[in-house]
A = this chain, B = another copy of it.
Amino acid sequence: MRIRTVGIIGDSMEKPELNKIAEELGKRLAEEGISIVTGGREGVMGAASKGAQSVHDRQSSSRVIGILPGTSQEEGNKYIDYAIPTGIGWARNQIVVLSSDIVVAVGGGAGTLSEMAYAWAYNKPLIAFNGVDGWSSKMGDKAIDDKRKDKILSAKNVEEAVNIIKDIFSKSHQ
């Protein structure tokens, strides 16, 4: 029954280069019937959610889930279907990652870096966009520590990221 989810993490500032990627990524994943998980705020989170909303409607199985730091269902961006206010501040970064089958990073500062670290620690497949401004460009093809044998995957554009995601899902049985 469980619906497949991809977490999209990245800069909360409005950076056109990153937002363009995030919106296209959200759109493409929604077209595949995949639901989106974000931290519910602006920047990459808002753009990815907007992209997903542009495709899906109530007849699609794709929904946008926003895992919010505060206590109000209204604090997130306007593209959220399910608002999950956690009330635990940036500790909610752990929950963004845990609620995602796969995590994709698009740029990002300290918050995104903490999420990439959690994704690694919790053994989630992690894809980092390269060639952009922010932490995702520094982490592709690297191991965060030696507790995992694999590396962070790297994508240079949306199509490559979507192909990696579809490949991972096709190899899992859920």
Contacts and interface: CB of A to CB of B under 8 A. Distances in A.
A157 interface: no
B73 A99 contact: yes
A79 B2 CA distance: 8
A1 to B, nearest CB: 6
Given A99-B73, A114-B121, A88 B85 contact: no
B95 A94 contact: no
A131 interface: no
Contact of A121 (B65, B81, B84, B110): B110
A3 interface: yes
Interface string A65-100: 101000101000011111111111111011100110
Shortest Cβ-Cβ A-B pairs, 4 listed: A109-B145, A114-B117, A88-B88, A87-B89
